[in-house]
Amino acid sequence: MLAVTACLVPGAAWGVLLLGPAALRVLGVAVGASLAAELVVQALAWRRFTLGDGSALLTGLLVALSLPVYVPLFVPAVAAAFAAAVVKASFGGLGRNWMNPALGGRLFAAFSWPVLLAVRPQPAAGWLGLTAGLSDGSLLGGTGTAGLVSTLLLAVGGAYLLARRIAAWEIPAGFAAVFALAFWAFGGLPAGLFRGDLPSALGSGSFALAALFMATDPVTSPQGRGARLAFGAGCGALSFLLRAFGGRLEAPFAAAALMNMFVPLLDRWPARRGPR
């Protein structure tokens, strides 16, 4: 958990530098709410405190990076607390939850306050004084979202996790391949086939965050190689469909959460169909 958190820190730090105190407040509130919620639940249930495993810290950080920085602070607080106390703790804690907690918290916020999450004003200059050229989907920038301004750094951190085999490569590979192919072929409709804007689709921080850090959660992803590829491919296909017909940047988060429900089925994939 701590290694994954460390790989997220550069992207989070860039978002804070670029967007200023607003991003820092969202990060602090989400992380604090996640830690507090886990502590309270464990105290009420007379369980051993497990803050030292780093899972609550990681959950809060992921929730914060997936949210716009201009939302009211109660949104990251409630989303992170829901992720830690309901999605994770109510199913028995770390290792027993069926959905990635950060995904659950992010979707809870999306369904609860869709208007607040859709508003993305032009940001004021952060500590670096940079605002020009920021737009959702550019390689390093996304107006109002700490995760979207840090796509390249998120990709570097994800590559480290894959190289160290902390995350399974099959999931982001299947995710990216299917999403890229579908978006390239059909993303330009109705103008015509094979006109999709791939840099815009793959350059969004929401895609990098979902594919490299959320979908690869070892607790909520399948174990077999073939099953992982199928899981990633399903994430990519659903992500394209949700984005094409829904038009929302949180499509990769919703896709990964939906595929979490199919993990028990994918784990029953016969061993003869792929090495484990």
The per-residue pLDDT for range 214-260, each reduced to its tens digit, is: 999 999 999 999 999 999 999 999 999 998 887 666 899 999 999 99
Same domain, 202 and 238: yes
Same domain, 162 and 173: no
Q: How far apart are alpha carbons 236 and 181 in whole angstroms?
A: 9
Does residue 129 lie in a domain region?
Answer: no
* Per-residue confidence (pLDDT) for residue 96, from 0 to 100: 82
Helix residue spans in the chain (DSSP H)? 2-19, 21-44, 55-65, 74-82, 101-112, 114-118, 151-163, 170-186, 198-202, 205-209, 225-246, 251-260, 263-266
Same domain, 82 and 104: yes
Q: How far apart are alpha carbons 23 and 12 in whole angstroms?
A: 9
Does residue 219 lie in a domain region?
Answer: yes
Same domain, 105 and 192: no
Q: How far apart are alpha carbons 265 and 52 in whole angstroms?
A: 32
User: What does the block give as tokens for 231?
Assistant: 């899981």
C-beta neighbour count of 264 within 10 angstroms: 10
* Per-residue confidence (pLDDT) for residue 271, from 0 to 100: 53
* Per-residue confidence (pLDDT) for residue 134, from 0 to 100: 46
pLDDT tens-digit series, residues 151-192: 788 889 999 999 999 999 999 999 999 999 999 898 877 777
Same domain, 38 and 157: yes
Q: Which of 66, 84, 91, 21 is nearest to 256 (CA)?
A: 66
pLDDT tens-digit series, residues 34-70: 999 999 998 887 777 777 788 999 999 999 999 888 8
pTM: 0.88
The residue out of 150, 166, 182 marking a domain boundary is 166
Does residue 270 lie in a domain region?
Answer: yes
Same domain, 23 and 154: yes
Does residue 131 lie in a domain region?
Answer: no
Q: How far apart are alpha carbons 260 and 231 in whole angstroms?
A: 8
Same domain, 180 and 273: yes
Same domain, 75 and 176: no
Same domain, 153 and 209: no
End-to-end CA distance of the chain: 23
Does residue 179 lie in a domain region?
Answer: yes
Question: Which residue range(s) make up the domain with 244?
Answer: 169-276
Q: How far apart are alpha carbons 46 and 40 in whole angstroms?
A: 10
Confidence band, pLDDT 50/70/90 cuts, at residue 124: low
Does residue 8 lie in a domain region?
Answer: yes
Same domain, 217 and 175: yes
Same domain, 98 and 193: no
Number of domains in the chain: 2
Does residue 153 lie in a domain region?
Answer: yes
Does residue 135 lie in a domain region?
Answer: no
Same domain, 174 and 115: no
